[in-house]
């Protein structure tokens, strides 16, 4: 049985004081959840978030694939691990579109994280144009195949995949539970083809894109959806609690 996981993706929101305030209000209430829950905070707030989050998982929003070096502005996996960070989002569509993230760098980052015993949350998803041209399956399968290249069967089981149709991110347009389920099933099937049924049945697949307290239940009740990656609705304590409770 796969345990669902909900991650709030804060993107470039919340100062350190706001992060502390949020966690003071939210973390204590998040005991005995039926699922795992976490918040992906901006880099500068990771250390302080680790101090205040006892129940929530503190997630990083990106990392570099090299161990160290002349990469101004970048953060290594060792730096994250030293802060006891365990989960890192990679390949978010905003990073692919605005910061030159590619299938190749996603793969390098995933392999680096797995080599250090960490959990990559690998994002995939099609644009509106691709969706309207019935290219979703092709695009998503290609992203998954490239992301998992060279990853062993044992490591693959520990990865979290987030399916986020780009046309549903921050637009208020959620994919219907039916569409989200269909694509998550395609992804699971692709994992079965790349590995085997055990890996496919173990790996967790989140849906992301305008998830809110009033639609999360239906989305998470789908057989192939094991959680959510939530942007906008994860920023307010009450709405966040509405998602995880
Ligand atoms: P949204 O963002 O929930 O605001 O649509 C989701 C995401 O980008 O992870």
Range 203-227 average pLDDT: 97
Give me the domain span that covers residue 118: 5-244
Confidence band, pLDDT 50/70/90 cuts, at residue 170: confident
Residue nearest to atom 1 of ligand 1 (CA): 231
Distance 11 CA to ligand 1 centre (A): 9
C-alpha triplet 116, 119, 120: angle, nearest 5°: 105
> pLDDT per residue over 57-94, tens digit each?
999 999 999 999 999 999 999 999 999 999 999 999 99
Total domains in the fold of the chain: 1
Q: How many CB atoms lie within 10 A of CB 116?
A: 16
> pLDDT per residue over 84-127, tens digit each?
999 999 999 999 999 999 999 999 999 999 999 999 999 999 99
The catalytic residue among 36, 64, 87, 92 is 92
Q: What is the pLDDT of residue 173?
A: 80
Taking a C-beta distance cutoff of 8 angstroms, is the pair 56, 38 a contact?
yes
Tokens linked to 37: 């829950």
Say which CATH number the domain at 240 has: 3.20.20.70
pLDDT beyond 90 at 17: yes
DSSP letters of 63-91?
--SSSSSS-TT---HHHHHHTT--EEEE-
Distance 171 CA to ligand 1 centre (A): 9
Q: What is the pLDDT of residue 71?
A: 98
> pLDDT per residue over 147-167, tens digit each?
999 999 999 999 999 999 999
Residues framing ligand 1 (Cβ under 6 A) = 9, 164, 169-170, 208-211, 229-233
pLDDT beyond 90 at 189: yes
CA distance 116 to 106: 16
3-state secondary structure of 205: strand
pLDDT beyond 90 at 135: yes
pLDDT beyond 90 at 8: yes
Percent of the chain with pLDDT over 90: 96
pLDDT beyond 90 at 234: yes
φ/ψ region of 97 (left if φ > 0, alpha if ψ in -120 to 50, else beta) reads alpha
Residue nearest to atom 2 of ligand 1 (CA): 231
pLDDT beyond 90 at 30: yes
Going by C-beta distance under 8 Å and a sequence separation of 6 or more, which residues neighbour residue 84? Answer: 50
Tokens linked to 87: 């989960």
DSSP-derived secondary structure letter, 9: E
């Amino acid at each position: 049985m796969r345990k669902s996981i909900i991650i709030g993706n804060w993107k470039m929101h919340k100062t350190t004081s706001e992060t502390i305030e949020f966690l003071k209000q939210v973390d204590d209430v998040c005991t005995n959840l039926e699922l795992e829950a976490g918040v992906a905070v901006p880099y500068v707030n990771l250390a302080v978030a680790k101090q205040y989050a006892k129940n929530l998982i503190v997630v990083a929003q990106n990392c570099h694939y090299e161990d160290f070096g002349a990469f101004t502005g970048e953060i290594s996996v060792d730096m994250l691990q030293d802060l006891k960070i365990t989960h890192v989002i990679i390949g978010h569509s905003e990073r692919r579109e605005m910061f030159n993230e590619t299938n190749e760098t996603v793969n390098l980052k995933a392999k680096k994280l797995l080599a250090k015993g960490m959990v990559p949350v690998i994002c995939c998803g099609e644009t509106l144009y691709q969706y309207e041209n019935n290219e979703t399956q092709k695009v998503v399968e290609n992203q998954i195949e490239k992301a998992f290249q060279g990853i062993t069967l044992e490591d693959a089981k520990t990865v979290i995949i987030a399916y986020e149709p780009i046309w549903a991110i921050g637009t208020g347009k959620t994919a219907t539970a039916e569409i989200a389920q269909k694509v998550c099933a395609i992804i699971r099937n692709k994992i079965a083809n790349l590995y085997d049924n055990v890996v496919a049945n173990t790996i967790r697949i989140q849906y992301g894109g305008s998830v809110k307290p009033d639609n999360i239940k239906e989305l998470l009740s789908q057989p192939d959806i094991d959680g959510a990656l939530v942007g906008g609705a994860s920023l307010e304590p009450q709405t966040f609690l509405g998602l995880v409770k």
